[in-house]
Amino acid sequence: MSIVQKKIDLESKLKTEELEMLKELNRREIDYDNDLPEMSKDDLKAFRGLADQRKAERRKQNLTLRLSPLTMKKARSLGKGYTSILARIIENALNDPEAIKKAL
C-alpha cells in the first residue's frame, strides 16, 4: 500500500471531493501493519530527542516572590493548588500587553 497525502485548505469551505474523501477515510478500517509501519532505531532516536527537548522546554523553574499579606490571603482562598493557579495568572498577564502596561 502506498501513502497518499492530500492537503485541505482549512480556510475555505470543503469541496465535495474532499468531503467524500473524508467520509471514505472514516469508513475504512485501520490496517496497523501497513498504515503504521515499524519504526527504525534512528526514527525512535529522533523521537526521543524531540521528546527530551519538549520536556526541557516545559520544565518549571522555582521563583521566590514577595507578596503582600492581602494578596496571599486572596491566593490561598483559591484552594488547593493555588500556586498553579497563580502561575497561570502570571503567564496570562505576561501574554497580555495591556495588563503589562497597567502594571508598570
Per-position pLDDT tens, the chain of length 104 = 566 777 777 788 888 888 888 888 888 888 777 777 788 898 888 888 888 999 998 888 899 999 999 999 999 999 999 999 999 999 999 999 999 999 89
Amino acid 2: pLDDT: 62
Q: What pLDDT is recorded for position 40? A: 86
C-alpha neighbours within 13 Å on the C-beta side of residue 54: 6
Pull the grid cell for residue 25. 477515510
How much of the chain is helix, strand and coil, in % rounded to 5? Answer: 60, 0, 40
Please state, in angstroms and rounded to a whole number, the distance separating the CA atoms of residues 67 and 83: 13
Which pLDDT does position 85 carry in this prediction? 93
Residue 85 sits at φ, ψ, to 5 deg, of: -65, -45
Q: What is the pTM of this model?
A: 0.48
Position 96 scores a pLDDT of 93
pLDDT at 79: 94
- pLDDT reported for residue 21: 86
Q: What are phi and psi of 10, to 5 degrees?
A: -75, -15
Check if the beta carbon of residue 72 is closer than 8 Å to that of residue 79.
no
